[in-house]
Amino acid sequence: MGIRTGQAGAQLIDVPQPTEISDDQVLLKTLYTGICGTDRGIISGQLKFARPPAGSDFLIMGHEGLAEVQDVGKSVKTIRRGDIVVPMVRRPGGCLQCRIGRQDNCEDGDFVEAGIRGKDGFMREYFLDEEKYSVKVYDRSLGRLAVLTEPMKNVVKSFDAYRTVTRRSIAQCGDGSFDCRRATIAGGGPIGILFAMIFRSYGFDVQLFDRNDHLGKLSAVSEKLGIDFKVSEGTGLPPNFIEGLDVFVDTTGSPSVIGRGLEGLGHNGCMVLFGTSSGGGYQLTGDLITSLVEKNATIIGTVDGSKAHYIEALNYLSSWKGMFPGVLEDIITQEDDPENSISALNTKVTGEIKRVIKWADQ
């Protein structure tokens, strides 16, 4: 079974089960796939860069995967039958960045992404992949939480970028942690919560805001994390969230939210842009430009992540089971059978944070 999408809309189809396995390949049985805004943008026809593999008239969906290794080719060394792996999404093209394994920083757009553009995804019962794109999950106690590795690797890369650019001034506090710094996160989806967790884990005072509380779920998660959560009114930021910000992370893609965040940056402040935008605008003023210069402000955009970021993502997820008990579990609010996957892809239910499809028992 697979899910295909043509122009817009999706349907369940039969896809052939792979039989031949070449020397460098692994045969994977899908356990879980996650659903995110990108999937819904593809289904609705809004994401214009979505495309099927070359020579195919449909795309099998799914880029957040978790799978069990069923069989391995003769030359596969690091992965064995029975291992659990997270398949990587983006596969390299021919540019310099791609050739050194940093297709997340591709310079010419000549990459493909499983379930998004030019390569079939993971929403099917079995698929073949290469050893080098299968990231092994050593902590099997993560169970289905390991399906959060794919979104988490984006957060790890962004945090890495933030720490890199802030090395130009001293961001650490007296004890070497970041507990005198404040991070404000716009948007309480799965990515926003994972950003809140990574900043909190390094000691930041974290503020999270969203247009709604997802049936009280964001308040509950924020209490467990020891962070401040506010519901924002319209496009405005909560009034006490907008001054002297050390770091502002946008996961909404809203120009007005980002504009208010830029206005609120403090000295040596950093704006991290993660959310892509579906339109709108913001009037940049001369005063704001002067203020950003005078404050040594930085604006970073980041996308995707490298294999190392997947590995680090798994380390964070494992350590957070103890550091923030129950919070990762709270992110996955719904689990569906493959038979319900079309409805799950089409419909976001009230209170939903992350919806996953369970393909097989682990």
Contact footprint for Zn ion (CB under 5 A):
93, 95, 98, 106, 110
CB of 230 to Zn ion, least distance (A): 40
By C-beta, is 111 or 320 nearer to Zn ion? 111
Listed in sequence order, the DSSP H helices in 178-306 are 190-201, 217-225, 255-264, 286-294
Per-residue DSSP letters for 84-148? EEEE-SEE--SSHHHHTT-GGG-SSS--EEETTBEE--S-BSEEEEEGGGEEE---GGGGGGGGG
By C-beta, is 94 or 226 nearer to Zn ion? 94
Q: 216 Cβ partners below 8 Å, 6+ apart? A: none
**Dist. CA 122–CA 69, nearest whole Å:** 14
Q: Is 65 helix (H, G, I), strand (E, B) or coil?
A: strand
The helix-helix angle for 307-323 and 190-201 (nearest 10°) equals 70
CB of 103 to Zn ion, least distance (A): 6
The helix-helix angle for 190-201 and 149-165 (nearest 10°) equals 50
By C-beta, is 111 or 199 nearer to Zn ion? 111
In angstroms, the Cα distances linking 346 to 101, 121, 330 are 34, 17, 22
**Dist. CA 359–CA 354, nearest whole Å:** 16
CB of 302 to Zn ion, least distance (A): 16
By C-beta, is 101 or 280 nearer to Zn ion? 101
By C-beta, is 80 or 99 nearer to Zn ion? 99
CB of 100 to Zn ion, least distance (A): 10
CB of 105 to Zn ion, least distance (A): 8
By C-beta, is 97 or 362 nearer to Zn ion? 97
Check: CB of residue 320 under 8 Å from CB of residue 201. Answer: yes
Tokens 């919070």 sit at which residue? 327
CB of 95 to Zn ion, least distance (A): 3
By C-beta, is 90 or 217 nearer to Zn ion? 90
CB of 184 to Zn ion, least distance (A): 33
